[in-house]
Structure 1
Amino acid sequence: MIEVNELTKRYGGTTAVKNLTFTVRPGRVTGFLGPNGSGKSTTLRMVLGLHAPTSGTATVDGRPFRSRPRGLRHVGALLDAGHVHGGRSAAAHLAALARSNRIPRSRVDQVLEQVGLAGAARRRIGGYSLGMRQRLGIAVALLGDPPVLLFDEPLNGLDPEGVKWVRGLFRQLAAEGRTVFVSSHLMSEMEHTADELIVIGRGELIAAESLTDFAARGSGAAVAVRTPHGDRLAALLTAEGATVRADGDLLTVTGTSAERVGELALDHRILLHEITTRGASLEDAFMELTAGSVEYVAGETR
């Protein structure tokens, strides 16, 4: 479990993280979302003891991570896949980390196989593609078989097969009872992967809840209706304050429920061929709820 309590980080007159409090629990995949510059990477680095907080605490299973001498046995992390010595092979890189953390050498071969790099284990990392470096970074995180895992933008550079594999890996790790904390800007992937979300903006907490509950907070939910009497139904819905967009025989209705649309159609003997509810997407909810926390907008700087 990761616990962050009133965490604050200032750099001179700039506050990168402000009074941040949240808990990341085991047995589920928790997504960490926020606009660029929101403080996500700074928060992860404070959890890992790479940055000292100005105030507040960040603990892993009740202790600061820096207090653990063999860190990879307790927390696995991928922060920057490019931060490796290009002249080493993947096998040598992992073997050195295994020795320093008293991890059996057999784990090197196991994780290289697990991430799909067994065939490239003796090649120099400098010749790896970005996707291969991402896989190597994930191998490093898995090396100590830790109960807690943190990943910062782990999907960068991966092809569709790699993205699908990572999605399944995170699900598997969570099903094993591990704590899995994933920072990403790819909303579509978080929508398919995360169970819970931590959302921040300008260093402050915006939401800490299930993905379903967060998406439902967006206003993008709509009712789709197919009817040969679209004009009549649209007039009735508009009179009740709903917003209707027509595209042939398809009406997209916001501001009311599918139940109310059905009741109106029944009361006025309007034939319906289809009626479905389309929930707000995670991206829609994220854009709406973080709009006031975006540092850079096209054409302007806030």
Structure 2
Amino acid sequence: MIELHEVTKRYGAATAVHRLTLTVRPGHVTGFLGPNGAGKSTTLRLILGLHRPTSGTVTVDGRPFRERSRGLRHVGALLDAADVHGGRTARAHLRALAASNRIPRARVDAVLGDVGLTSAARRRIGGFSLGMKQRLGIAAALLGDPPVLLFDEPFNGLDPEGVRWVRGLFRRLAAEGRTVFVSSHLMSEMAHTADHFVVIGRGKLIAEQSLAEFAARGARAGVAVRTPDPVALTSLLTAQGGAVRPEGDALAVTGLTAAQVGELACAHRVPLHELLTRTASLEEAFMELTADSVDYPAGGPR
């Protein structure tokens, strides 16, 4: 479990994280979302003890991570797949990490096999593609078989097979009871990977909720309905507090459930040709939720 309580991090006059309180629980893949500059990378570095908070507390399973002498046995992390010594082979890189953390050498070949790099174990990392470096970074995170795992943009550079593999890996790790915390800008992948979300903007917590709760925030969440008598149906729905707007040959309704729309139409003999509940996409919900936290929107000031 990862816990942050009233954490603030300042760099001179700039505040990267402001009074952030959140809990990342085991048994879930928790997606960590936010616009560029929101403080996500700083938060991950605070969890790993790479930066010290200006105020507040950060603990992993009840203790600051810096207090753990063999860190990879407690937390595995991938922050920057390119930040490795290009002159080493994949096996040599992992063996050095294993030795410094007193991890059995047998784990090296085991995790190379887990990530599909057995055939590349003797190749120098400098010749690896970005996708191969991502796999190596994941192998390093898994090396100590830790209960807590952090990943920053783990899908970058992966082909479709690799993306599907990572998605399944994260779900399996969570199903084993581990804490899995994943930061990514790929909203479509987060929708298929995470079951819980933490969203920050300008260093502050915006939302902490399940996938279903998060997606339901979008303005397009509601009911879509088609009828040969849109005027009559619009009048009925607005009288009951619903908001109705035309959308092509259908009506988009918010404020009422599909069941309520259907019952009103039936009671007043208004025929319906189509009635369905519609949820917003994760991307729509994210854009709406973080609209006030984007420092550099495309197109300039609005």
TM-score (norm 2): 0.94
8 Å Cα contact 2:31-2:183 kept in structure 1: yes
Matched to 2:185, the amino acid is H
Residue deviations 1:52-78 (CA, integer Å, cap 9, x gap): 111111111111111111110110000
- Structure 2 unmatched ranges of 5 or more: none
Structure 1 residue 158: deviation in Å? Answer: 0.9
Alignment partners' CA distance in 1, 2:292 and 2:101: 43
Structure 1 residue 41: deviation in Å? Answer: 0.3
Report percent identity of matched pairs.
74
Query: Does residue 1:247 correspond to 2:248, yes or no?
Result: yes
Matched to 1:155, the amino acid is F
Alignment partners' CA distance in 2, 1:195 and 1:65: 25
User: 1:287 maps to which residue?
Assistant: 287
Matching of residues 104-115 of structure 1 within 5 Å: 104-115=104-115
Query: Does residue 1:261 correspond to 2:267, yes or no?
Result: no
Alignment partners' CA distance in 2, 1:301 and 1:168: 40
Structure 1 residue 255: deviation in Å? Answer: 3.9
Alignment partners' CA distance in 1, 2:39 and 2:247: 42
Structure 1 residue 44: deviation in Å? Answer: 0.4
The alignment partner of 2:7 has SS state of strand
Structure 1 residue 228: deviation in Å? Answer: 4.0
The alignment partner of 2:85 has SS state of coil
User: 1:55 maps to which residue?
Assistant: 55
8 Å Cα contact 2:244-2:251 kept in structure 1: no
8 Å Cα contact 1:242-1:255 kept in structure 2: yes
8 Å Cα contact 2:201-2:293 kept in structure 1: yes
Structure 1 residue 235: deviation in Å? Answer: 5.3
Structure 1 residue 280: deviation in Å? Answer: 2.1
Structure 1 residue 229: deviation in Å? Answer: 4.0
Matching of residues 50-129 of structure 1 within 5 Å: 50-129=50-129
Structure 1 residue 247: deviation in Å? Answer: 2.6
Alignment partners' CA distance in 2, 1:53 and 1:137: 26
8 Å Cα contact 1:199-1:205 kept in structure 2: yes
The alignment partner of 2:20 has SS state of strand
The alignment partner of 1:199 has SS state of strand
8 Å Cα contact 1:25-1:179 kept in structure 2: yes
The alignment partner of 1:296 has SS state of coil
Alignment partners' CA distance in 1, 2:252 and 2:25: 38
8 Å Cα contact 1:244-1:254 kept in structure 2: no
Alignment partners' CA distance in 2, 1:168 and 1:157: 17
Matched to 1:42, the amino acid is T
Query: Does residue 1:197 correspond to 2:192, yes or no?
Result: no
Query: Does residue 1:298 correspond to 2:298, yes or no?
Result: yes
Matched to 1:242, the amino acid is A
User: 1:133 maps to which residue?
Assistant: 133
Alignment partners' CA distance in 1, 2:50 and 2:57: 13
User: 1:5 maps to which residue?
Assistant: 5
In structure 2, relative to structure 1, the CA distance for the partners of 1:130 and 1:301 (3 Å cut) is: farther
User: 1:176 maps to which residue?
Assistant: 176
8 Å Cα contact 1:15-1:203 kept in structure 2: yes
The alignment partner of 2:53 has SS state of coil
The count of corresponding residues between Structure 1 and Structure 2 is 301
User: 1:278 maps to which residue?
Assistant: 278
Structure 1 residue 230: deviation in Å? Answer: 4.3
Alignment partners' CA distance in 1, 2:132 and 2:35: 26
Structure 1 residue 273: deviation in Å? Answer: 3.1
- Structure 1 unmatched ranges of 5 or more: none
Alignment partners' CA distance in 2, 1:32 and 1:246: 33
